[in-house]
Amino acid sequence: MQLAHIPLDRLNISALNMRHGKRAPDLSDILPSVRARGVLVPLLVRPNGSPESFEIVAGRRRYFAAKSLADERGKADPLPCAIMEAGEDADALEASLIENVARLNPDEVSQWETFSRLIREGRTVPEIAGTFGITELQVKRILALGELLPKIREAYRRDEINTETARYLTMASKAQQKDWLALFADPGQYAPRGYQLKQWLFGGQSISTKVALFAIEDYPGLIVSDLFGEESYFADADLFWQKQNEAIAAKRDACLEHGWSEVIVLEPGQHFHSWDHEKTPKKKGGKVFISVSHRGEVECHEGWLSRKEARRARANGEGAEETAAKPSRPELTGPMQNYVDLHRHAAVRFGLLDHPGAALRLMVAHAIAGSGLWQVRREPQRAAHEIVAASLAACKAEAAFAEKRREVVALLGNRMRTAQSLTAMATTSARQASSRGS
């Protein structure tokens, strides 16, 4: 038996299902639970002639409850499923799954306490998933509650906030969680929840001066303050990111100079999951992870290894002296990586001018079939250093693209002027005809 999350549109009811029929089942008793917590007990499925399609042997009502929820919310989450193998007994598997899930505590915070204890004792995510008969993704979602502030976790335990809100808060920085908690605790304020919380966390361009790693005096742009002077913001987001990236690169180089074996700067918005890493001192090969939020907040996590790396280090018997004596350094510095990225982007963008069909297909594919796993956005081309900016300005691909862009803008301008002239001529003719008629 294999456990996996399967999209709703790849599932259908098996004719062998004992409740198979055309009428939808009564969901009044389970729909509130599924709406609040999702489907917890995996459906029992088997391949249906194709590796992309499965039929449901047991779990028909859970399937219909998930479909009903998808109709309400306009989106469908993949369902946890147990994929049967040849010769397995369906009744025995279903009973085993229900028994395993019944061993879980009813609320997710209690589950987090259990899973966290097992992780500290050395259990892995796949082992925990196998013990309780749930998927690895479900285990990871529960472990992510460890990223919440204790007061938020307790509010979730008391059902004062819903699951969707708790999920979004696990992706927020500690500073964002404190700001949200202040709104939540104040009866006179509104704390955003659900989709509004997502917009509050990741949308907008207002960047507080509190998050700057660089000295505010070094910022050449305009700083805007609110009416009470309690908060101030950078008016130019691109200029802020240029200075912030320079400071992050300097922070990274400083950590390497202090003897850390490696410093990893995560992609903007990528969250650092402490539950998937193990505390490791510098002398035993610990690394530094720098996370950067979309709001510009920077968090430095010193002395961590992924659990996989930590297990490998223990198995190989790597000593502290060996790790400290041979620190691995990245091939490129932060500014050099920025240089390579910008010039590579300029070359690819210029190359697409000769392949408009490919560019159009990429744009249409994103417009029609967007995904939460990836996104397309305008490249801000932020240079981390003045020298990098100067080299980009002298880049042949960048200059050729700029010239082509000017030609297109001029062409669009001529067409607009022609359209305006035709409109004016038509208006004049209409007036003359009206005058003759009168």
Q: Is 350 contained in some domain?
A: yes
At 331 the pLDDT is: 74
User: How buried is residue 316: exposed, middle or buried, by Cβ count under 10 Å (0-12/13-18/19+)?
Assistant: exposed
At 98 the pLDDT is: 63
Tell whether the model's pLDDT for residue 251 goes beyond 90.
yes
Q: Is 173 contained in some domain?
A: no
Claim to verify: residue 16 and residue 98 sit in the same structural domain:
yes
Claim to verify: residue 91 and residue 62 sit in the same structural domain:
yes
Query: Rounded mean pLDDT of 428-438?
Result: 52
- Give the tens place of pLDDT for each residue, 59-118: 888 899 999 988 888 888 889 888 887 666 666 666 655 655 666 666 788 888 888 888
At 184 the pLDDT is: 93
Q: Is 236 contained in some domain?
A: no
Claim to verify: residue 278 and residue 392 sit in the same structural domain:
no
Claim to verify: residue 279 and residue 344 sit in the same structural domain:
no
Q: Is 58 contained in some domain?
A: yes
Cα gap 120→275, rounded to integer Å: 9
Q: What is the 3-state secondary structure (H, E, C) of the chain?
A: CEEEEECHHHEEECCCCCCCCCCCCCCCCCHHHHHHHCCCCCEEEEEEEECCEEEEEECHHHHHHHHHHHHHHCCCCCEEEEECCCCCCHHHHHHHHHHHHHCCCCCHHHHHHHHHHHHHCCCCHHHHHHHHCCCHHHHHHHHHHHHCCHHHHHHHHCCCCCHHHHHHHHCCCHHHHHHHHHHHHCCCCCCCCHHHHHHHHHCCCCEEHHHCCCCHHHCCCCEEECCCCCCEEECCHHHHHHHHHHHHHHHHHHHHHCCCCCEEECCCCCCCCHHHEEECCHHHCCEEEEEECCCCCEEEEEEEEEHHHHHHHHHHCCCHHHHHHCCCCCCCCHHHHHHHHHHHHHHHHHHHCCCHHHHHHHHHHHHHCCECCECCCCCCCCCCCHHHHHHHHCCHHHHHHHHHHHHHHHHHHHHHHHHHHHHHHHHHHHHHHHHHHC
Backbone angles phi, psi at 238, to 5 degrees: -65, -40
- Give the tens place of pLDDT for each residue, 277-306: 999 999 888 999 999 988 889 999 999 999
At 420 the pLDDT is: 60
Question: Could you tell me which of 318, 311, 286 has the C-alpha nearest to residue 122?
Answer: 311
Contact of 260 with 247, CB cutoff 8 Å: no
User: End of a domain among 280, 312, 335?
Assistant: 335
Tell whether the model's pLDDT for residue 172 goes beyond 50.
yes
- Give the tens place of pLDDT for each residue, 401-426: 888 888 877 887 766 566 566 555 55
* Cβ atoms within 10 Å of 331's Cβ, excluding its own: 6
244 or 345: which carries more pLDDT confidence? 244
Which range has the worst mean pLDDT, 161-175, 197-211, 415-429? 415-429
User: How buried is residue 420: exposed, middle or buried, by Cβ count under 10 Å (0-12/13-18/19+)?
Assistant: exposed
pTM above 0.85, yes or no: no
Q: How confident is the model at residue 121 (pLDDT cuts 50, 70, 90)?
A: confident
Query: Rounded mean pLDDT of 150-166?
Result: 90
Claim to verify: residue 353 and residue 277 sit in the same structural domain:
no
Cα gap 44→80, rounded to integer Å: 9
User: End of a domain among 168, 196, 227?
Assistant: 168
Q: Is 64 contained in some domain?
A: yes
- Per-range mean pLDDT, top range of 138-147, 231-240, 356-365: 138-147
Q: How confident is the model at residue 153 (pLDDT cuts 50, 70, 90)?
A: very high
Claim to verify: residue 30 and residue 148 sit in the same structural domain:
yes
At 423 the pLDDT is: 59
How many domains is the chain partitioned into structurally?
3
Which range has the worst mean pLDDT, 33-37, 222-226, 245-249? 222-226
Question: Across the strands, what pairs with 299?
Answer: 291
Claim to verify: residue 95 and residue 7 sit in the same structural domain:
yes
Which range has the worst mean pLDDT, 61-75, 118-132, 199-213, 272-286? 199-213
At 228 the pLDDT is: 40
Q: Is 199 contained in some domain?
A: no
Q: How many CA atoms lie within 13 A of 403 on its CB side?
A: 7
At 173 the pLDDT is: 82
At 113 the pLDDT is: 87
Domain of residue 159, CATH code: 3.90.1530.10
Q: Is 214 contained in some domain?
A: no
Query: Rounded mean pLDDT of 307-330?
Result: 68
Claim to verify: residue 315 and residue 354 sit in the same structural domain:
no
Tell whether the model's pLDDT for residue 38 goes beyond 50.
yes
% of the chain with per-residue pLDDT over 90: 18
Query: Rounded mean pLDDT of 360-382?
Result: 69
59 or 248: which carries more pLDDT confidence? 248
User: End of a domain among 168, 196, 212?
Assistant: 168
Beta-sheet pairing, 43-50 with 79-83: parallel
Residue 296 belongs to domain spanning:
243-335
Claim to verify: residue 122 and residue 136 sit in the same structural domain:
yes
Q: Is 179 contained in some domain?
A: no
At 226 the pLDDT is: 44
Claim to verify: residue 347 and residue 273 sit in the same structural domain:
no
Claim to verify: residue 152 and residue 272 sit in the same structural domain:
no
Instruction: Kindly list the distances between the CA atom of residue 286 and the CA atoms of 281, 333, 407, in Å, as whole numbers in the listed order.
Output: 5, 19, 53
At 154 the pLDDT is: 92
Claim to verify: residue 50 and residue 145 sit in the same structural domain:
yes
Cα gap 144→326, rounded to integer Å: 34
Question: Could you tell me which of 247, 292, 246 has the C-alpha nearest to residue 267?
Answer: 292
Cα gap 174→297, rounded to integer Å: 10
Cα gap 396→319, rounded to integer Å: 50
At 383 the pLDDT is: 76
